[in-house]
Amino acid sequence: MKRAAAPEPAIDPVPGQKPLNRLFRAFAYRDFRLLWFGAFTSSAGTWMQQAAQSWLILQLTNDPSYLGFNEFLATAPILFLSLVGGVVADRTDRRRILLGSQYMQLSFAFALALLAWLGVVSVWHILLLSLLTGVAQSFGGPAYQALIPTLVERRDLANALALNSIQFNLARIVGPMMAGEALAALGAAACFGLNGLSFVAVIIALSLISVQYVPQTGNGRNMRNEMRLGLAFVWHQSALRSLTLLAFALSFLGFQLVTFLSFFAREIFRMEVQGFSHLLAMSGAGAVTGALVVAWLGDAPHKGRIALRMQIILGLIITAFAFTTNVPLAYLLVYLGGVFMMASFAPIASLVQLLVNDEMRGRVMSIYNTAFRGGMPLGSLVTGLLLKHFSPTQVFATEGLLLALIALFFLTARSQAEVRN
């Protein structure tokens, strides 16, 4: 295996260490800082496009099931290609994979911007480009997740992963807020074009970092056998199996609150696009708060137990949101949903990363990614179809209670002791 110099050392924790130093510990690494700021810019552009896309889909179709269908197409490729992407990430320079993924997504964003600017965009254009973007992300996702742990030392990995969640969710505040203003003033084409430009930031960052671990190209091994090795590795470790199942439940049942916010904003709360963007931004603000808490805790013990308790609370918040028609209360519940979503997700992701080594990281993370990201499109598709036959209150209250009950099972079952540690 080819290795570059070790990552820049971070300062060891000392008694009385300043809270901010503890909170942003992983920023001591230059390459992590570069990738963080590049990824934040790109994520803000992506959330801007997603907000504009959701509103445009409702304008074109007046049918909330298309929101679920679009989310399904955007992330369904992960179900079929992410495992291949994980094998590729364990055989190829992960930076090169990421650069290819960014260039593809840049092209798709500009294509949608052009269609919207010409006034010829239709819902099938949006669906097709969402599908193609999902294909690019199914290779870029495992490579990105496998790259981050090589930029910091193991002791700072939990903090780095929490800070990475902060950039993603901080972008959920900035992106939708920008989308609300840009949509009202300039139209959807401007949102899509700005998203295309945002990919330039992460491309520059990837070009500047020093990759600490580069897999041996090809390794002379069969890709199918390597995929089987990855699946067997996860299957024979009960903790990884359980964590993967929890990640699937969290995205299948929990993330639909975000996916269908535009539906609640327009149909339940009678909001315009600015109101929807504010709701989405509140969800992002809550997720940033949750990630800040996780980052401050760092390598705290009993991550699994913490994640399960947070997931129970998240399920109850979703259930409460399903019954509310009060706008200020809706803002509060969406914010709290973001807090506890991140407080559930981040410890689970940290545990998975800590259980694998660099040689297997791409494949294991692709399996985890398939479960977590794959649960989103399946959940969106099912939720969209259920909304045709049942009220939003019935659908989301049921999903929230199921999420809480699954976490309660893992918290109390004796056989799941490894997950709670």
* Residue labelled with tokens 């995205």: 251
Q: Is the pLDDT confidence value at 263 over 90?
A: no
Which has the minimum average pLDDT: 2-16, 27-41, 232-246, 311-325? 2-16
Question: What is the CB neighbour count within 10 angstroms for residue 207?
Answer: 11
pLDDT at 414 over 60: no
16 phi-psi bin (left φ>0, alpha ψ -120 to 50, beta other): left
**Strongest mean pLDDT among 58-67, 331-340, 351-360, 409-418:** 331-340
In the prediction, which pLDDT does 3 show? 36
Residue 407, CB-side half-sphere exposure with 13 Å CA sphere? 29
- What is the pLDDT at residue 218? 53
Q: What is the mean pLDDT of the chain?
A: 80
> Distance from CA of residue 36 to its chain's centroid?
14
* Confidence at 204, pLDDT banded by 50, 70, 90: very high
Q: Which DSSP letter does residue 10 get?
A: P
Query: Residue 212 has which token pair?
Result: 């600490």
pLDDT of residue 80: 75
Highest mean pLDDT among 35-49, 277-291, 361-375: 35-49
Average pLDDT over residues 177-190: 79
So what's the pLDDT on residue 363? 75
Taking Cα atoms as reference points, which of 355, 123, 167, 393 lies closest to residue 267?
393
User: Radius of gyration (Cα) for the chain, nearest Å?
Assistant: 20
Question: What type of residue is 337?
Answer: G
Structure tokens, 59: 């304008």
Q: What is the pLDDT of residue 12?
A: 40
Q: What is the pLDDT of residues 77-113, one digit of tens each?
A: 877 777 777 677 667 777 888 888 899 999 999 999 9
Q: Cβ distance 149 to 160 under 8 Å?
A: yes
Token digits for 103? 């260039």
Burial code (b: 16+ CB inside 10 Å, e: under 16) for 47-80 equals bbbbbbbbbbbbeebebbbbbbbbbbbbbbbbbe
Q: State mean pLDDT over 138-156.
A: 80
